[in-house]
């Protein structure tokens, strides 16, 4: 193999959208092919786990790891790739913060199996069969990975060097980050400090959203089908839940611009540990409570009434960040490993 830097990309429990996001840098993919040797990239190249196991430690320069840690296989691959990679990037929301798969942390393994394999309209399972880690067949033994109770982000399993947020990351950000990496590897330019989140604006989605804010307050929330938003006006100030204030930018505020509230896929702002908590305070500030002459308990009641019009605050404000949320941390610490 040549002396070009080595690139790896691997998917654990994810949807494949991260791989498609890399393809969506379109013609730049030819540049990536020119600059890097692929060391492991199951989506586009035929390297094997056995090859990776045979590499010296640190052989891979950059590993883009996407997907949450859902089962034993994902965790084993995370450990292997950590050992073989100089820089480990948690690529995309699943690896970074759990993403949609971590909504599973609001329920249990037992409930999941019950719904999927026993209790649904199309099931035919009179003998209550469940998938097994080991099954003895007439011809021999068949095995499956262990399905875990709790979904984890990558940094809850291994040491991570950089984070690239987004579900999936938007192509302009991906290309910008790849250029920084190339500059460091080929020209010795400095890399960001270890632990940095890269490929974002550092400020809220609102800062890149063209919809106009006017410090207007609201008296109720609307579900997206209950209102036709006025064009050009901040959705949150029209009573449409939008996680923009609690979400770091970098996406270009695409969703609000088509009249749909942000769901927070880029994750929390830098320095904010709990995206949902931050969003709750943003919500509180937009509620128009407290008219002149009102008692304190009346104001509190008014706030409660408005908040009561919110559907599913936990599943909405922590839509992408459940693995890291303070809501979940207690549960993970509760049994030590969260398995």
Partner 1 sequence: MKRITIDPITRLEGHGKIEIFLNDQGNVENAYLQIPELRGFEQFSIGRPAEEMPRITNRICGVCPEAHHMAGTKALDMLFNVEPAPVVKKIREMFYMAFYNTDHAVHFYALGGPDFVLGPDAPPEERNILGVIHKVGVDIGKQVIAHRKRNHEVIQWLGGRGIHPVAGLPGGWSVAVTEELRKEIEEIAKQNIAFGEFSLQLFADVVLANQAYVDLILSDTFTEDTYYMGTVDENNHPNFYDGKIRVVAPDGSEFVKYDAKDYAQHIAERVEPWSYLKFPYLKGVGWKGFVDGMDSGVYQATPLSRLNAGDGMATPKAQEHFEKFYETLGSEKVNGRYKPVHHRLATHWARLIEMLYAAERMLELVTDPEITNPEVRPIVTNTPTVGIGSVEAPRGTLTHHYETDENGILTKVNLVVGTTNNNAPIAMSIKKAAKGLIKDGNISEGLLNTVEMAFRNYDPCMSCATHSLPGQMPLEITIHDSKGQVVDTLNQFID
Q: Does 34 bind partner 1 (CB under 8 A)?
A: no
Q: Which stretch binds partner 1 (CB under 8 A): 118-126, 175-183, 199-207, 277-285?
A: 118-126
Site for partner 1, residues 254 to 283, rule: CB under 8 A: 254-255, 257-260, 263, 265
Site for partner 1, residues 138 to 167, rule: CB under 8 A: 138-140, 142, 144-145, 147, 167
Measured from the CB atom, the residue of 131 and 195 that comes closer to partner 1 is: 131
The site that binds partner 1 (CB under 8 A) totals a number of residues, namely 90
Q: Does 59 bind partner 1 (CB under 8 A)?
A: no
Q: Does 112 bind partner 1 (CB under 8 A)?
A: yes
DSSP structural state of residue 197: E
Burial of residue 136, with CB atoms counted within 10 A of its CB: 0-12 exposed, 13-18 middle, 19 or more buried: exposed
Q: Which stretch binds partner 1 (CB under 8 A): 24-32, 190-198, 201-209, 329-337?
A: 24-32
Q: Does 313 bind partner 1 (CB under 8 A)?
A: no
The torsion angles phi and psi of 308, rounded to 5 degrees, stand at -65, -20
Measured from the CB atom, the residue of 249 and 289 that comes closer to partner 1 is: 249
Nearest Cα to 206, choosing from 139, 146, 145, 278? 278
Q: Does 176 bind partner 1 (CB under 8 A)?
A: no
Our measurement of the distance from residue 58's CA atom to the centroid of its chain's CA atoms, rounded to an integer in Å, reads 26
d(CA 17, CA 11): 10
Q: Which stretch binds partner 1 (CB under 8 A): 22-30, 155-163, 211-219, 275-283?
A: 22-30
Nearest Cα to 339, choosing from 50, 44, 75? 75
Q: Least distance to partner 1 from the beta carbon of 233, Å? A: 15
Residue 212, C-beta contacts closer than 8 angstroms, at least 6 positions apart: 232, 233, 234
Out of 4, 24, 86, 213, the only residue in the binding site for partner 1 (CB under 8 A) is 24
Measured from the CB atom, the residue of 241 and 289 that comes closer to partner 1 is: 241
d(CA 239, CA 283): 10
The torsion angles phi and psi of 278, rounded to 5 degrees, stand at -65, -40
d(CA 12, CA 80): 13
Q: Does 101 bind partner 1 (CB under 8 A)?
A: yes
Site for partner 1, residues 189 to 218, rule: CB under 8 A: none
296 close to 287: Cβ distance less than 8 angstroms: no
Out of 1, 3, 50, 292, the only residue in the binding site for partner 1 (CB under 8 A) is 50
Q: Least distance to partner 1 from the beta carbon of 213, Å? A: 20
d(CA 118, CA 314): 27
Q: Does 23 bind partner 1 (CB under 8 A)?
A: yes
Helix (H, G, I), strand (E, B) or coil at 60: strand
Q: Least distance to partner 1 from the beta carbon of 37, Å? A: 12
Q: Does 172 bind partner 1 (CB under 8 A)?
A: no
Q: Cis bond leading into 18, ω under 30°?
A: no
């Amino acid at each position: 193999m040549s002396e070009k830097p080595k690139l790896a990309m691997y998917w654990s429990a994810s949807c494949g959208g991260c791989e498609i996001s890399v393809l969506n840098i379109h013609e730049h993919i030819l540049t990536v092919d020119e600059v890097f040797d692929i060391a492991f990239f199951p989506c586009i190249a035929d390297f094997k786990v056995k090859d990776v196991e045979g590499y010296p430690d640190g052989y891979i320069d950059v590993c883009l790891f996407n997907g949450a840690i859902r089962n034993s296989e994902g965790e084993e691959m995370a450990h292997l790739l950590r050992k073989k990679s100089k820089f480990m990037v948690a690529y995309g929301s699943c690896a970074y913060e759990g993403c949609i798969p971590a909504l599973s942390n609001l329920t249990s393994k037992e409930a999941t199996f019950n719904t999927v394999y026993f209790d649904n309209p199309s099931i035919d399972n009179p003998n209550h069969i469940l998938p097994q880690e080991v099954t003895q067949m007439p011809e021999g033994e068949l095995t499956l990975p262990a399905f875990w109770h709790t979904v984890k982000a990558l940094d809850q399993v291994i040491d991570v060097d950089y984070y690239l947020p987004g579900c999936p990351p938007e192509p302009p950000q991906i290309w910008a980050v790849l250029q920084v990496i190339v500059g460091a590897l080929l020209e010795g330019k400095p890399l960001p400090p270890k632990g940095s989140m890269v490929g974002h604006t550092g400020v809220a989605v609102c800062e890149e959203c063209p919809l106009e804010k006017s410090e207007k307050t609201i008296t109720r929330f609307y579900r997206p089908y209950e209102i036709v938003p006025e064009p050009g006006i901040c959705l949150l100030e029209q009573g449409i839940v939008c996680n923009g204030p609690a979400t770091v930018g970098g996406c270009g505020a695409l969703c609000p611009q088509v009249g749909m509230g942000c769901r927070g896929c880029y994750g929390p702002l830098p320095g904010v540990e709990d995206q949902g908590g931050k969003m709750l305070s943003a919500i509180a500030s937009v509620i128009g409570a407290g008219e002149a002459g009102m008692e304190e308990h009346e104001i509190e009641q008014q706030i409660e009434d408005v908040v009561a019009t919110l559907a599913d605050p936990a599943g909405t404000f922590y839509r992408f960040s459940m693995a890291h949320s303070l809501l979940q941390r207690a549960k993970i610490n509760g049994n030590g490993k969260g398995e």
